[in-house]
A and B are shown apart, each in its own frame.
Chain A
């Protein structure tokens, strides 16, 4: 079946360092979404990317969708302790299958 691969699985950074997580699909995605889950919490939607080569920013977070619509990345500039959590990408392949396929997530820890 279709899979969305996400790396790295874990990332430990010092506060103030940058952080990037990557998602890859072997087939073209219709769109990709990103979610954040705080420890003990539930996933919360961050953003959706639809267009080839799309770049969106939310304060210190930058989201990119690849030209071929097979990969995506989330980059956080100057991490803060409030960024702690697990970041998931979720791909939609369109067609008859409308549901999202989630990556396994990248767990970010930030040392103050």
Chain B
């Protein structure tokens, strides 16, 4: 089992460009998450999907959109990238949202110039 996979691993964008970060899990988990990690800020939740067909905003949703394509896949889209979105993005999954451990992917390091 691969667990949680993310693509790409690294990405450099110019301001205003768009891109989609892909995430997939093979653990048959119901819930999936997107976090960003900035130095000294810990992990901040961008969006999450409690179950297939639902998505909800987290702490920092502005400038992002998500799609829960199916039970396995959860993508994060930046429509018009800004330097403030330079960060490391982690996707995670869990069996459910409330009292279940989260499994994280390896992360995508995004730089917006």
Contacts and interface: CB of A to CB of B under 8 A. Distances in A.
Nearest to A2: B59
A44 interface: yes
B24 interface: no
B42 A105 contact: yes
Interface size, A (range) = 20 to 34
A43 B103 CA distance: 8
B44 A43 contact: no
Nearest to B99: A31
Contact of B58 (A9, A42, A50, A99): A99
A104 B107 CA distance: 18
B99 A42 contact: no
A102 B98 contact: no
Interface of A: 1, 6, 9, 30-31, 33, 41-45, 48, 50, 88, 90, 92, 94, 98-105
Interface string B85-108: 000001010001111011111110
Given A42-B90, A42-B104, A98 B98 contact: yes
B2 interface: no
A19 to B, nearest CB: 18
A43 B90 contact: yes
B53 interface: no
Contact of A30 (B33, B43, B45, B99): B99
A42 B41 contact: no
